[in-house]
Structure 1
Amino acid sequence: MTAKKLLVALPLTAVLMTAAVPAVAAPGDSTAFTPWRSAWATAPQAPTHTDWYANWSEEGFDNQSVRQVIRVGAEGSRLRIRLSNVYGTAPLRVTGATIARSAGGAAARAESVRTVRFGGAQGVSVPAGGELSSDAVALPVRALEQLTVTLYFRGRTGPATFHNFADTLTYRASGDHLDDAAGEAFAGEPSLSWYYLAGVDVKPLESPGGGRGRDAVVAFGDSLTDGVGSTFGADRRYPDVLADRLVAEGRTRPVLNLGIGGNKVLNDSPCFGESALARFRRDVLGRRDVRTVIVLQGTNDIVLPDSPQDRCTTPSPFVTSAQIVAGHQELIREAHARGVKVIGATLPPYQGFAYWTERGDRVRSEVNQWIRTSGAYDGVVDFDRAVADPEHPERIAAQYVSADLIHMKDAGYKAMADAVDLNSL
């Protein structure tokens, strides 16, 4: 199935969509030195069924190889992968893993294929509810380079911890294809999700034995951070374009996309992840090298109560701007307690979207006014004004908005990235 066909099925209500993380920080210890630097990350979610496109999270894998494509945001002389079984109810047995430079689609560059080991062993068991990191792999990488990570599961995994909307394709094949460079074995129907892979870390080229301290930027949010509406597989989400800007100006820093489509500040969802309040410590503050986080959260708290209610949207109580602001204030307190700088992003307009209401837009405007004027954040990026139609500011400008009138197309995500003051990071 083509990427276009897969995305057409997304419903309007759905698409707003613990072991080592690089050395999990103890409370108040986010300034601690780590030799590893985050290069790529995604936010894990519990396995779930989704109607708008198929995913493999509930069935898991059995005697299958899973090949996933990611783009790293930092260069390094060595790397390691991080696997998550945080939503697993039993140990995850990984028979083997490889990493390589991508050759496009499911193919890898043959000369770059490297075996990934765990404590010197080819296989590993990830505890239920846990995450772990691999040994270092000797594969130098450049910022913005695409890699493939292949995992092989000889036995049945059970339901899989995953990230629902990857905005790129993941492939699977029967049997052990860890060392395959060609992609022919992976020719079956692909998935739009990532499975078990939580992150890739690097050791900087200039200092193989040591790290750089804290310079990672986290983009924390919902589907506007996840990149719904951007060109599929092209890395044109706003965090990607922000990373491109940093590289182009010689200020390369990893920009980690920890958005989850449909995510809310105040309430969990079986389809759209734990609330921002519940997952912030793990997804953002659990990384010792994070210096700055950009928070773009609240649209789903506002919009989903006006949409048809189903297993994915429930609970979605009507909320006030004061309740959303209180949630933001808690995120700010937690970030500051770890010495992390936090930038507030205003919520873009969405008039014309199927579930727009005057009530919802009033709440959005009140939240935005607080973000702009309260001084609670260390800085503000005004995504609202960056993408709004100057003649009709309650709408996203036509050159920026996707067909559903709430998400961006590539030009809109670029406008968002361009609105970020690089010095504020």
Structure 2
Amino acid sequence: MTTIKTEAATAPKATPSSTSVRRTAVAALTVAALTALPLAGTATAGTNVTGTAVASEYRHDAGRWRGAWATSPQHPTAPFAPNWSQQGFSNHTVRQVVRVTTGGTNARIELSNRYGTTPLRITGATVARTDKGASVKAGSVRQLSFGKGRSVTIPAGGTTYSDGVPFTVKALESVTVTLYLAAPTGPATFHHVAGATSYRADGDHRSDRDAGAFKETSTSWYYLSGVEVTGGKPPRRDGIVTFGDSITDGVGSGLDANNRYPDELAERFAAAGEPRSVLNHGIAGNQVTNDTVWAGEKGIERFKKDVLTERDVRTVVLLEGINDFGGSLPNGIAAPTPEVSVERLVAGHRELIRQAHAKGIRVIGTTLTPIKGSFYDTPAVEAKRDAFNDWVRTSGAYDAVVDFDRAVADPADPDRILPAYDSGDHLHPGDAGYRAMAQALDLDAF
């Protein structure tokens, strides 16, 4: 086994007291020498404009496509603010901006109808380089096809991929995906907390360069669940998935700023001259052990769909559990979920580790970040957080551990986020806090 050391956190350090030593000490990090196993994948089918089934190229083709951007699909819901998911679309064009973490010379998109109850008709789609807002750069619009047809019908519960199109894109470049939805869609599979602005226009504006027709906005993503690229670098299995809840999803970071901690991690790889596929599969409010309609299926179930189907993934960074402990409290969003013990959350993490290892994927475990002053701050929840963090640091269950708790804690009050890192709700980091989290990850651990 190989021992790894984490990089120093950017938070200032204080002389530890007897009560803080346990929280701030980082156990020696070990990485198991796992054999790189090929990922299994099951092809899903879309339907082309003639009604003939079209098998999508799937992620088992490790020599070609690799993930450049991803997000986790969710049930239509509106717990925080109005969005377009529950009513869906009819004769609308939806334009969405995402930033890829690795580049290539060809691109394709992944579309999900996972939570649709009827087939979803995509009348047409384009990809382009982003300019400002809903506008795209001149000459960059590429029409996408699906099994050589411009339209595709995705079965209820299904996923499909566009054909690849020549499209040179660099790591950390933003691309704009535009979908034209002529027929009524019904409620839409979406990702609630995008941290990015999406745009809607009446009618068909998939090929528009300017933003004039896009008069409505949302801060969610709709149907779009992935962008994949090929070319530009030799294929190898070095992809990373960050899996978790709102802190992975980037709640508290700036809108359209790409400052979530996975974004900052991707920037570190790019700055080192080694861009990586860093795919964000966080869902705000998600739990490891309990299903919720508004915050996704429990982690031990959605991990199979969101992580194990991604191509060429070598490492998962796992940060999830505070909602399991705090979800039993009244929150004004949805009915409280059943109370979760430390032992049950540990069992959930062990199951996630088992699933990952069965696919030859390494797991970096992380401690839960401070909650003092937040709506989760009760003596019972804090006691559970402390106990779980002790297990993370000392159990040896993971292939490596990073202490996110220590990375963002106030040295003078270790149960609280450092004010400079706090988004303001004392639970979610702000941009500086997410940067500190990314800095706490040792790039060599990947």
Please, what TM-score do these two structures have when normalized by structure 2?
Answer: 0.86
Structure 1 unaligned spans of 5+? 1-17, 26-31
Q: In structure 2, what is the Cα distance between the partners aligned to 1:270 and 1:306?
A: 17
Partner of 2:69: 40
Please, what TM-score do these two structures have when normalized by structure 1?
Answer: 0.90
8 Å contact kept, 2:289–2:299: yes
Deviation at 1:71, TM superposition (A): 0.2
Partner of 1:419: 440
Q: In structure 1, what is the Cα distance between the partners aligned to 2:423 and 2:260?
A: 13
Q: In structure 2, what is the Cα distance between the partners aligned to 1:231 and 1:288?
A: 29
Aligned partner letter, 2:88: G
Q: Secondary structure at the match of 2:415?
A: coil
Q: Deviations over 1:159-178 (max 9, x none)?
A: 11000000011000000001
Larger radius of gyration: 2
Aligned pairs (5 A) from 1:68-87: 68-87=96-115
2:195 pairs, out of 163, 167, 182, with 167
8 Å contact kept, 1:238–1:417: yes
8 Å contact kept, 2:102–2:276: yes
Aligned partner letter, 1:359: A
Deviation at 1:421, TM superposition (A): 0.6
Partner of 1:375: 396
Deviation at 1:306, TM superposition (A): 2.2
Aligned partner letter, 2:120: L
Partner of 1:129: 157
8 Å contact kept, 1:269–1:313: no
Percent of counterpart pairs with the same letter?
A: 52
2:239 pairs, out of 209, 216, 222, with 216
Q: Deviations over 1:329-369 (max 9, x none)?
A: 00000000000011001100110113311110110111111
Deviation at 1:150, TM superposition (A): 0.3
2:205 pairs, out of 172, 177, 194, with 177
8 Å contact kept, 2:93–2:201: yes
8 Å contact kept, 1:22–1:36: no
Deviation at 1:77, TM superposition (A): 0.6
8 Å contact kept, 1:81–1:197: yes
1:265 aligns with 2:293: no
Partner of 1:226: 249
8 Å contact kept, 2:289–2:348: yes
1:203 pairs, out of 215, 220, 230, with 230
Partner of 2:174: 146
Number of aligned residues: 394
Deviation at 1:205, TM superposition (A): 1.6
Aligned partner letter, 1:229: G
Aligned pairs (5 A) from 1:89-128: 89-128=117-156
Q: Secondary structure at the match of 1:176?
A: coil
Deviation at 1:278, TM superposition (A): 1.1
Deviation at 1:49, TM superposition (A): 2.9
Assess, with a 3 A threshold, how the Cα gap between structure 1 residues 371 and 22 changes in structure 2: closer, same or farther: farther
Q: In structure 1, what is the Cα distance between the partners aligned to 2:404 and 2:57?
A: 30
Q: Secondary structure at the match of 2:76?
A: coil
Q: In structure 1, what is the Cα distance between the partners aligned to 2:62 and 2:97?
A: 29
Q: In structure 2, what is the Cα distance between the partners aligned to 1:22 and 1:395?
A: 47
Q: Deviations over 1:276-327 (max 9, x none)?
A: 01100110011131110000000101112123465x344x122111110000
Superposition RMSD in Å: 1.4
Deviation at 1:228, TM superposition (A): 0.7
8 Å contact kept, 2:59–2:65: no
Assess, with a 3 A threshold, how the Cα gap between structure 1 residues 140 and 313 changes in structure 2: closer, same or farther: farther
Q: In structure 2, what is the Cα distance between the partners aligned to 1:109 and 1:156?
A: 30
Q: Deviations over 1:81-101 (max 9, x none)?
A: 010001111111000000000
8 Å contact kept, 1:293–1:341: yes
Q: Secondary structure at the match of 1:122?
A: coil
Deviation at 1:225, TM superposition (A): 0.5
8 Å contact kept, 1:23–1:34: no
8 Å contact kept, 1:37–1:204: no
Aligned partner letter, 2:362: K
Aligned partner letter, 2:112: S
Assess, with a 3 A threshold, how the Cα gap between structure 1 residues 58 and 234 changes in structure 2: closer, same or farther: same
Aligned pairs (5 A) from 1:286-365: 286-308=309-331, 312-314=334-336, 316-365=337-386
Deviation at 1:54, TM superposition (A): 1.0
Q: In structure 1, what is the Cα distance between the partners aligned to 2:103 and 2:59?
A: 21
Aligned partner letter, 2:132: G
Q: In structure 1, what is the Cα distance between the partners aligned to 2:343 and 2:188?
A: 36
Q: In structure 2, what is the Cα distance between the partners aligned to 1:405 and 1:351?
A: 7
Deviation at 1:24, TM superposition (A): 4.6
Q: Secondary structure at the match of 1:343?
A: strand
Deviation at 1:214, TM superposition (A): 1.6
Q: In structure 2, what is the Cα distance between the partners aligned to 1:308 and 1:419?
A: 31
Deviation at 1:113, TM superposition (A): 0.4
1:64 aligns with 2:89: no
1:23 aligns with 2:58: yes
Q: Deviations over 1:116-155 (max 9, x none)?
A: 0011110001111110111011110000000100000111
Aligned partner letter, 2:163: D
Deviation at 1:108, TM superposition (A): 0.5
Assess, with a 3 A threshold, how the Cα gap between structure 1 residues 24 and 138 changes in structure 2: closer, same or farther: closer
